[in-house]
Amino acid sequence: MAEHTQQSLSRRSTNIESKRIMVAVHCTYPILHGSMKSALSLMVLALLLCFGTTVGATEPDAQAARNTSFNTVVLLQGDASFDFDKASLTENGTDRLDALANRLRPLEQLLSIHVIGHADSIGRAAYNHDLSFRRARSVATYFSRRFPGTRVSFAASGEAHPVADNATAAGRRGNRRVEIEIVAVGDQRVWQASQ
């Protein structure tokens, strides 16, 4: 933090120095003649290349990195977040969402959160669709309370989009999930570092 502050002060000082050079040249240049004007022009150009261009090159790049719009998907495993055949979040599920919400807080702007519930293929398709809908709604309700100014939506996919083989217990466990699609503005490097 101290190093960042020192670099920022150094850039600000450099920028002020380059402006002083420009003022000095503006006041002095009209009274000079011939080769002295040419020499002074070359000297000023060299000084501005040393002082002025580095400030303009680094600060916009850093600002652009901080203001990047990006989207990401976070996976919430069903078995770790909900009791069997239930849609209310378990304590572990709430803890996982709390951790995710704390990672989202530093972002400059949270544009939208879209929650999609998924299920395995055991049981009737209509029932699985309803269960995935209710689970998605539980997660969406959590985010609506934590981020009241953010657009939050949810949907159910039921058993329609498996990511693993429903013929195995491990595959069914992977298919019982909630996907959280996040669109935000901020420094994506900070977000990635927090994962």
Domain coordinates in residue numbering, the chain: 2-66, 68-193
154 in Cβ contact with 114 (< 8 Å): yes
**Res. 36 pLDDT band, cuts 50 70 90:** low
**Res. 91 pLDDT band, cuts 50 70 90:** very high
Q: Under CATH, what is the fold of the domain 68-193?
A: 60s Ribosomal Protein L30; Chain: A; (3.30.1330)
In whole angstroms, give the CA distance from residue 74 to residue 8.
Answer: 35
Q: What is the pTM of this model?
A: 0.66
pLDDT at 47 over 60: no
pLDDT of res. 43: 56
Within a 13 Å sphere around the CA of 108, how many CA atoms are in the beta-carbon half?
Answer: 13
pLDDT over 70 for what percent of the chain?
64
Look up residue 125 and give its two tokens. 């398709």
* 138-192: pLDDT as tens digits: 999 999 999 999 999 999 999 999 999 999 999 999 999 999 999 999 887 777 7
pLDDT of res. 123: 94
102 in Cβ contact with 60 (< 8 Å): no
pLDDT of res. 145: 96
pLDDT of res. 94: 96
In whole angstroms, give the CA distance from residue 43 to residue 40.
Answer: 5
